[in-house]
């Protein structure tokens, strides 16, 4: 562990006092906390409830421990690795089925997964990320989790605000910050820390929040969080929201491993005691700050449809033809369908031969959209090939057309190879390992299992499991 910046040390000695500051510095030098959440949307989720794992206090379906991106539990979307304190913004949002929710700074996706599953396939989640590379990771994680009603966008907050004026019931802003809470998890975060950088982050946070406020409906809720300890980016930013936009702080209950916010660090607002701080020395996780605020009731019409300019899609979505509908039905009828797919024939659209259930059905927004709902698969020369997203949704209910691979077959399949199989099944099947479904395959009449695991997800090295 490298030495903490001297100005950081002196700052928190002054803010916390000698003893608590020493405890903070000791905690930063100790190993970071690892944890994961279990996906309640998967049919295999219950197998974790009886396992010998330690739950994260205050968070449903969350446990301490480490998972790898190569584990079948991860690849099948059963678990997601996330820092324990970072789980709280998603839970504090308290999303209800049918709401319209925005995760404005969403990558890599932990909050979006939490928000999306709470919608119960109703309403809409817009998961946005300004970085193109990080937005692709966000999309992959959402697809792996099996979420259906999600629109993934790759835009700046101001552009998004021009399309979704007064639209959302709830907005989560886990803002880019100085990253002090990342020091022990990633000591390289110290390299760009400085008092000046903290103020730069504060300005950026205010710019992002200004855009977020425009997208929140009257009386809507804003959940603001950072992974830094800095009062300039935490209590002072919340104070600014209250003063600038007449927001009201909604008090949060103290949970194990958290402390109340500090009114003296943010313009002496008493309600700041209703915000939460997570310090590493309190042994829950890394650093986190969370506040929940309510927007004032203003007489405006929450609408999006009157904002976007009409633009033609290069491939404008259309309804399924009777012939294409039959091709899709021939595949889907072979599997047990979850509730979200029971009415697929009346909801599906086609764009550039891709068949999908749209999450957002409004006017063309003119945004960079990476994902709009659930892609069922692709129409190819009078046949339909089911896609990876569909496999991750189908594993939310028990299935019968499944081929379970052994370890060597699993490694080969992830590498993109075909498999010799004695299965009597024919046609498209679901592929699993240890009972965890993760993809589609196609059994031929000569006992060959064709590989349909997406090329972009395949492993580079076949023998990594050994």
Query: What residues are annotated to the active site?
Result: 227
Q: How far is CA 266 from CA 222, 235, 236, 250, 341, in A?
A: 18, 5, 4, 16, 48
Query: How many whole angstroms from its chain centre is CA 105?
Result: 10
Cβ–Cβ < 8 Å for 277, 261: yes
What are the residue ranges of helices labelled H in 189-309?
Answer: 195-215, 235-245
What sign for the dihedral angle of Cα 404, 410, 412, 417?
Answer: positive
What sign for the dihedral angle of Cα 144, 340, 160, 176?
Answer: negative
Kindly calculate the radius of gyration of the chain based on its CA atoms and give it in whole angstroms: 24
Residues 6+ away with beta carbon under 8 Å from 177: 201, 205, 226, 227, 228, 230, 233
In terms of Cβ atoms closer than 10 Å to its own Cβ (0-12, 13-18, 19+), residue 359 is buried
Q: How far apart are CA 381 and CA 364, in angstroms?
A: 28
Query: How many whole angstroms from its chain centre is CA 382?
Result: 36
Cβ–Cβ < 8 Å for 418, 411: no
Cβ–Cβ < 8 Å for 427, 368: no
Cβ–Cβ < 8 Å for 44, 75: no
Neighbours of 374 (CB within 10 A): 27
């Amino acid at each position: 562990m490298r030495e903490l910046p001297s100005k950081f040390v002196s700052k928190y000695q002054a803010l916390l006092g000698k003893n608590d500051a020493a405890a903070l510095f000791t905690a930063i030098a100790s190993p970071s906390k690892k944890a994961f959440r279990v996906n309640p949307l998967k049919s295999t989720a219950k197998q974790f409830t009886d396992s010998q794992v330690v739950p994260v206090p205050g968070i449903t379906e969350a446990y301490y421990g480490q998972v790898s991106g190569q584990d079948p539990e991860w690849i099948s979307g059963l678990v997601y690795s996330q820092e324990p304190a970072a789980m709280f913004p998603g839970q504090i949002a308290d999303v209800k089925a049918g709401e319209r929710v925005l995760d404005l700074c969403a990558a890599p996706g932990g909050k979006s997964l939490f928000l999306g599953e709470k919608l119960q396939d109703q309403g809409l989640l817009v998961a946005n990320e300004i970085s193109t590379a990080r937005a692709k990771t966000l999309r992959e994680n959402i697809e792996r989790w099996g979420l259906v009603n999600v629109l993934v966008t790759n835009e700046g907050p101001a552009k998004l605000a021009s399309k979704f004026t007064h639209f959302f019931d709830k907005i989560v802003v886990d803002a880019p910050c100085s990253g002090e809470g990342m020091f022990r998890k990633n000591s390289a975060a110290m390299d760009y820390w400085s008092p000046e950088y903290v103020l730069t982050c504060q300005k950026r946070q205010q710019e992002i929040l200004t855009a977020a406020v425009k997208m929140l409906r009257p009386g809507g809720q804003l959940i603001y969080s950072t992974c830094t300890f800095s009062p300039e980016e935490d209590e002072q930013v919340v104070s600014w929201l209250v003063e600038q936009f007449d927001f009201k702080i909604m008090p949060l209950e103290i949970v194990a491993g958290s402390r109340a916010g500090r009114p003296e660090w943010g313009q002496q607002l008493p309600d700041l005691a209703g915000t939460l701080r997570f310090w590493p020395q309190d042994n829950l996780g890394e650093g986190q700050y969370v506040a929940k605020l309510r927007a004032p009731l203003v007489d405006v019409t929450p609408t999006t449809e009157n904002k976007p300019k009409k633009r033609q899609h290069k491939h404008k979505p259309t309804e399924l033809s009777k012939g294409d509908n039959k091709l899709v039905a021939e595949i889907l009828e072979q599997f047990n369908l979850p509730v979200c797919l029971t009415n697929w024939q009346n909801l599906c659209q086609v764009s550039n031969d891709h068949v999908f259930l749209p999450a957002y059905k409004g006017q063309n927004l003119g945004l960079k959209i990476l994902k709009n709902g659930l892609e069922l698969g692709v129409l190819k020369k009078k046949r339909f090939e089911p896609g990876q997203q569909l496999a991750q949704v189908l594993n939310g209910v028990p299935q019968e057309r499944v081929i379970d691979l052994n370890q060597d077959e699993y490694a080969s399949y992830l590498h993109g190879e075909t498999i010799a199989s004695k299965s009597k099944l024919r046609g498209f099947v679901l592929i699993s390992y240890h009972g965890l479904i993760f993809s589609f395959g196609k059994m031929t009449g000569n006992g060959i299992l064709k590989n349909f695991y997406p090329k972009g997800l395949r492993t580079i090295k076949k023998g990594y499991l050994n």
